[in-house]
């Protein structure tokens, strides 16, 4: 009798708890909004823009790459023939494409350590308690707000052999000046300096935010234990900034791999060589193939997809690094 009563009480209360919990969840949904479509309405504007400017061009690029299309006509379906021009070593297009890829990789190796290292150095200086530090922070960040056209024309004028004040100053002091825009390694030096001046403020601000998040107690404890500035930087600053370093390196690799505007405006992709311009990156080569000369849209789309696959591989590797850091 007692067991039955207990059983009846238990079975009587359990449904009541389920009903009460379900009612609470429904009330919460009502507080957010009775119509379940409302959250999707908030997402819709961004998704529409994303679909128009990202999804549609991406799938259109795939469609163009498997057809023999030009600026005047939509050609027939050719399958993967356009990709074979890029991936087949016997193709006449193979060496020019991979030379452009090598130029891009070379710029990545030159620019990423410099942009990350200088950005971290400037952030460390600006993190000190100095008078006017906010003014210097603004000065370093302002160039990042400029467009690539403004940056390219500014530095083209500065290094122009005919009227640029840098070559003229060198000629006045030393009697001669290298041709910064038409000879290597000076052409790469010009592109690298302009990119450093343009983008270093972004990395500096990110590093500065990370430095300000590190507790000052750690440095005080290390100072009491006798650690000097370099030992504090190596043992406290770098380990604390490791996630931010990975983020900055990832963003900088992707940004450097998308190099196109600076060499297009400053050097024109030159100086010329048997395989194309010595400073022509792969995206500039794709642009010239698709929109200059014969305007081979399908071949340019195929090359763009191959480059996109490379960047996806780089992104996956960096995401794996982030995952290992979180674990």
- Cβ atoms within 10 Å of 79's Cβ, excluding its own: 10
Structure tokens of 233?
A: 């930087």
Dist. CA 180–CA 200, nearest whole Å: 22
273 pLDDT band (50/70/90 cuts)? confident
What is the reported pTM? 0.81
Structure tokens of 28?
A: 């919460």
Is 13 or 54 the better-scoring residue by pLDDT? Answer: 54
Find out whether 287 and 265 touch, Cβ atoms under 8 Å. Answer: no
Work out the widest C-alpha separation in the chain, in whole angstroms.
113
275 pLDDT band (50/70/90 cuts)? confident
pLDDT digits 0-9 by tens, 86-127: 999 998 899 999 999 999 999 999 999 999 999 999 999 988
pLDDT digits 0-9 by tens, 2-26: 444 444 444 444 444 444 455 555 5
Nearest CA-CA partner of 81 in 267, 315, 302, 243: 302
89-326 falls under which CATH superfamily? Answer: MetI-like (1.10.3720.10)
pLDDT at 26: 55
Domain range annotation of the chain: 1-34, 89-326
Dist. CA 167–CA 106, nearest whole Å: 25
Residues 6+ positions from 182 with CB-CB distance below 8 Å: 161, 267, 270, 271
pLDDT digits 0-9 by tens, 62-74: 999 998 876 666 7
Residues 6+ positions from 153 with CB-CB distance below 8 Å: 265
């Amino acid at each position: 009798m007692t067991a039955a009563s207990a059983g009846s009480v238990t079975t009587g209360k359990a449904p009541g708890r389920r009903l009460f919990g379900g009612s609470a969840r429904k009330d919460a949904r009502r507080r957010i909004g009775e119509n379940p479509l409302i959250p999707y309405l908030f997402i819709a504007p961004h998704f529409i823009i994303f679909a128009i400017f990202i999804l549609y061009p991406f799938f259109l690029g795939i469609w163009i790459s498997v057809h023999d299309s030009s600026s005047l006509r939509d050609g027939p379906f050719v399958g993967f023939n356009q990709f074979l021009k890029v991936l087949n070593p016997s193709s006449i297009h193979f060496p020019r494409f991979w030379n452009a890829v090598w130029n891009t990789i070379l710029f990545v190796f030159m620019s990423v350590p410099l942009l990350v290292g200088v950005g971290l150095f400037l952030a460390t200086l600006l993190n000190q308690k100095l008078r006017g530090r906010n003014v210097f922070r603004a000065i370093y960040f302002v160039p990042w707000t400029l467009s690539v056209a403004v940056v390219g024309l500014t530095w083209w004028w500065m290094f122009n052999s005919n009227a640029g004040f840098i070559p003229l100053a060198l000629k006045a002091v030393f009697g001669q000046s290298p041709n910064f825009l038409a000879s290597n390694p000076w052409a790469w030096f010009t592109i690298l300096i302009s990119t450093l001046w343009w983008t270093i403020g972004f990395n500096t601000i990110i590093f500065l935010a990370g430095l300000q998040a590190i507790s000052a107690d750690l440095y005080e404890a290390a100072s009491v234990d006798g650690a000097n500035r370099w030992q504090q930087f190596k043992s406290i600053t770098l380990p604390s900034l490791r996630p931010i370093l990975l983020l900055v390196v990832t963003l900088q690799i992707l940004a450097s791999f998308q190099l196109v505007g600076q060499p297009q405006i400053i050097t024109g992709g030159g100086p010329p060589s048997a395989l194309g311009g010595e400073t022509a990156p792969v995206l500039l080569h794709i642009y010239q193939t698709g929109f200059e000369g014969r305007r081979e849209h399908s071949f340019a789309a195929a090359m763009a997809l191959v480059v996109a696959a490379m960047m996806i591989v780089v992104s996956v590797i960096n995401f794996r690094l982030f995952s290992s850091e979180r674990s």
